[in-house]
Amino acid sequence: MEDQKIIELFFQRSEEALREVSNKYDGICKKISYNILNNIQDVEECVNDTYLVAWNNIPPNQPSPLVTYLCKIARNVSLKKLRYNTAQKRNSYYEMSLSELEECIPSGNSIYAEEKELTQVIEDFLVSLDKKSRVMFLRRYWFADSISDIAEKFCMKENNVSVKLMRIRKKLKKILEKEGLYK
């Protein structure tokens, strides 16, 4: 079913909207959640919560594209669950991927102009990358895919993916330093 028809079902408050969303986007929502939580029971709970959040927010929201909206909700719900579940433990791909970014993204203790400025610089940086590099970066640091999953997707060796991601992070760090957002 087309996304626009699914959104219309949400606006009609039809439970069929939830069935259609589940049929169409359950896999990607579960993948995002699993990469963050690494626990199938928590994943099921978070995906159900994702659909509940969508149900409560459509209407008035009319997301376009629907898949991005649902992925963002699934990611945020999963991150909340991760914070709830963990106390100084590193038990997920998401935690590992974030630790890789620590070398180039300023920490909460760093002094930088504003979060919006940092966000804009990162968005501009991503746009400047070639498609393959941008997809690899997002797969690792937004979707929290493992290095092996990314290597398989791009038909590369894991070491090559690691090196490529390291080079991308170094470029990002240089840009942030140039903009005065990383000290």
What are 86-128's pLDDT values in tens digits?
Answer: 755 555 556 666 667 766 765 554 444 456 777 788 899 999 9
Share of the chain above pLDDT 70, in %: 84
For the segment 148-167, the average pLDDT, to the nearest whole number, is 95
Q: What is the dihedral of CA 108, 28, 120, 95, to 10 degrees?
A: 20
Q: Which of 20-34, 103-117, 134-148, 156-170 has the lowest mean pLDDT?
A: 103-117
- Classified by CATH at the fold level, domain 94-178 comes out as Arc Repressor Mutant, subunit A (1.10.10)
Whose tokens are 């330093």? That residue is 177
pLDDT band at 83 (very low <50, low <70, confident <90, very high): confident
pLDDT band at 84 (very low <50, low <70, confident <90, very high): confident
Which pLDDT value is given to residue 144?
83
Query: What is the per-residue burial (b if ≥16 Cβ within 10 Å, else e) of 164-180?
Result: bbeebbeebbebbeebe
Which pLDDT value is given to residue 111?
45
- Classified by CATH at the fold level, domain 3-85 comes out as Rna Polymerase Sigma Factor; Chain: A (1.10.1740)
Q: Is residue 26 within 8 Å of 47, Cβ to Cβ?
A: yes
| CATH 1.10.1740.10 boundaries in the chain | 3-85
Which pLDDT value is given to residue 109?
46
